[in-house]
């Protein structure tokens, strides 16, 4: 079947098998390997992306269902060499260990902060409750999201952009965007 969708702001038209899962379409057809594939059963949450602005587990969505809709992946968080505050928070507060759950956590955290810019610890824990991290015990992830809430992009004294602009070394790679 012919699929016409938008991924990270870019129109995409591809011929796909109707049974193709969104996670496989993103990784295999589009090469967007930041979205991790963990369980195929909706249990782990490593594959969270946004569909029309709402976090979804891409292992439970058929790519065909995204026709005419907007998909956003972890690769979209970094803009023009500037990390999203959530990405920066995960770096600052050690919100990742092995990094496998990180892309899904980042997308879930960004969605939460877009809805609630100052969430409580309980709200953060509830938001990420559908995702499994086997390394961190979640405390550092919660601290990372709290850091991001305290350092919104473009805020006065925003160190995310200022530090990147002042650095003599290349800008850091987006957290959670690696394969």
Domain 85-166 has CATH 1.10.150.120: yes
Buried b (16+ CB within 10 A) or exposed e, 42-75: eebbbbbbbbeeebbbbbebbbbebeeeebbbbb
C-alpha–C-alpha distance, residues 83 and 87, integer Å: 6
The pTM for the full model equals 0.84
pLDDT digits (tens, 9 = 90+) for 47-95: 999 999 999 999 999 999 999 999 999 999 999 999 999 999 999 999 9
Mean pLDDT of 11-25: 97
Q: Which residue has the higher pLDDT, 166 or 9?
A: 9
Match domain 2-76 to its CATH number in 3.10.129.10, 3.40.50.150, 3.40.50.720, 3.10.20.30. Answer: 3.10.20.30
pLDDT digits (tens, 9 = 90+) for 109-120: 999 999 999 999
C-alpha–C-alpha distance, residues 150 and 20, integer Å: 39
């Amino acid at each position: 079947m012919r699929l016409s969708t938008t991924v990270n702001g870019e129109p995409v038209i591809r011929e796909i098998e109707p049974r193709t899962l969104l996670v496989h379409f993103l990784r295999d057809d589009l090469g967007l390997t930041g979205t991790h594939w963990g369980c195929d059963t909706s249990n782990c949450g490593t594959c969270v992306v946004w569909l029309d602005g709402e976090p979804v587990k891409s292992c439970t969505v058929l790519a065909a269902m995204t026709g005419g809709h907007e998909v956003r992946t972890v690769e979209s968080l970094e803009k023009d060499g500037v990390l999203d505050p959530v990405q920066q928070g995960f770096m600052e507060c050690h919100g990742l260990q092995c990094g496998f759950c990180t892309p899904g956590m980042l997308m879930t955290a960004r969605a939460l902060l877009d809805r609630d810019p100052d969430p409580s610890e309980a709200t953060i824990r509830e938001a990420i409750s559908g995702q499994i991290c086997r390394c961190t015990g979640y405390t550092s992830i919660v601290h990372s999201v709290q850091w991001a809430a305290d350092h919104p992009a473009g805020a006065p004294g925003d160190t995310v952009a200022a530090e990147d602009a002042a650095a003599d070394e290349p800008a850091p790679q987006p957290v959670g965007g690696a394969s």
